[in-house]
């Protein structure tokens, strides 16, 4: 499997990058950045680190890749949900309105935002480049804006259904909120990478809030029914008649046309050990109050723990 992944990644690396012969672009939906960093952590292949760095630094630069791409295909666009070529015009939706270093607030599609920032934080830690680390810490303004002004008490983010996106500071309606399950999972991923870099308990607090509310609440106990969006207030009788609630479902659904949330919930639950603990060179942080068994290699042996939390 690793060989297949590396072969596909090598192909992507042959197509995108700073060389004159390559495309000077980046994905419309960030996620390859966090995947590249995970692959680099396994293989230590420097090209994967360099490609992540390129995607991060090229994003939002001028001349804008999305505009160039749009012109090359004769101004043809296949996405008209919010008007002709809206994904090209609304670059904040794709986190491409500005270079990351110039962005001031959490904006645009919530899942894209946290996926991108997960990759940025992982890059900052594994590059062993102090300037990268400082750049990432400088971007704490983005974390703080999200966590202090655009985060629900349930760990949900993305308060509007239009664009599944952030809105403005403190605009947090209970009934029309989107708060996609995938967004809270991405929030956990972002918090995990910040914990690995800084070891600050604020990230564990947000991660725990998202897990115990929106993420776990997004799946029924039978494991077969799911919420895509997670409002804090639902009026079942109004849903049929009031179209501002078209995205809201009163009960968990068996499946979705765009079924990203069910497998994403499965992904985070099967990797939950990475969230419960954060090993560092000088400490082991316990992030989430949960029953578990754990083995962590340390300098002089193996650290073991097991059983349920004390009641």
164 is catalytic: yes
Structural tokens at position 51: 């490609």
Q: State the CB neighbour count (10 A cutoff) for residue 171.
A: 12
Q: In angstroms, rounded to a whole number, what is the distance separating the alpha carbons of residues 185 and 217? A: 12
Catalytic residue among 33, 136, 164, 261: 164
DSSP state of 173: -
Q: In angstroms, rounded to a whole number, what is the distance separating the alpha carbons of residues 278 and 257? A: 36
Q: Which residues contact 295 (CB under 8 A, 6 or more apart)?
A: 302, 303, 304
Q: In angstroms, rounded to a whole number, what is the distance separating the alpha carbons of residues 290 and 120? A: 28
Question: At CB < 8 A and 24+ separation, what contacts does 163-166 make?
Answer: 163/82, 163/90, 163/93, 163/108, 163/109, 164/109, 164/110, 164/111, 165/93, 165/107, 165/108, 165/109, 165/110, 166/105, 166/106, 166/107, 166/108, 166/110, 166/113
Q: Which residue has the tokens 């499946």?
A: 255
**Catalytic positions, written as ranges:** 164, 260
């Amino acid at each position: 499997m690793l060989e297949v992944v590396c072969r596909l990644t090598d192909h992507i690396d042959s197509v995108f990058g700073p060389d004159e012969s390559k495309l000077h672009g980046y994905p419309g939906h960030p996620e390859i950045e966090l995947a590249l960093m995970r692959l680099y952590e396994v293989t230590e292949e420097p090209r994967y680190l360099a490609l992540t760095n390129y995607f991060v630094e090229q994003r939002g630069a001028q001349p804008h890749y999305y505009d160039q791409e749009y012109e090359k295909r004769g101004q043809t666009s296949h996405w008209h949900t919010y008007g002709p070529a809206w994904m090209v015009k609304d670059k904040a939706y794709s986190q491409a309105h500005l270079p990351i270093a110039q962005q001031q607030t959490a904006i645009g599609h919530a899942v894209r935002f946290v996926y991108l920032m997960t990759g940025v934080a992982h890059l900052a830690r594994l590059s062993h480049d102090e300037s990268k680390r400082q750049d990432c810490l400088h971007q704490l303004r983005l974390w703080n804006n999200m966590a202090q002004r655009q985060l629900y008490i349930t760990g949900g983010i993305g308060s509007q259904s239009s664009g599944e996106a952030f809105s403005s500071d403190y605009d947090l309606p209970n009934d029309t909120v989107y708060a996609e399950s995938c967004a809270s999972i991405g929030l956990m991923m972002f918090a995990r990478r910040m914990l690995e870099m800084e070891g600050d308990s604020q990230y564990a607090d947000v991660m725990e809030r998202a897990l115990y509310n929106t993420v776990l609440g997004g799946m029924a106990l039978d494991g077969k029914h799911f919420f895509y969006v997670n409002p804090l207030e639902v009026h079942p009788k109004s849903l049929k008649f009031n179209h501002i609630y078209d995205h809201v479902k009163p009960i968990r659904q068996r499946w979705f046309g765009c079924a990203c949330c069910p497998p994403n919930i499965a992904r985070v639950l099967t990797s939950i050990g990475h969230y419960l603990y954060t090993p560092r060179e000088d400490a082991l942080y316990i992030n989430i109050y949960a029953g578990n068994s754990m083995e962590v290699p340390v300098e002089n042996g193996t650290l073991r723990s097991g059983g349920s939390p004390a009641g």
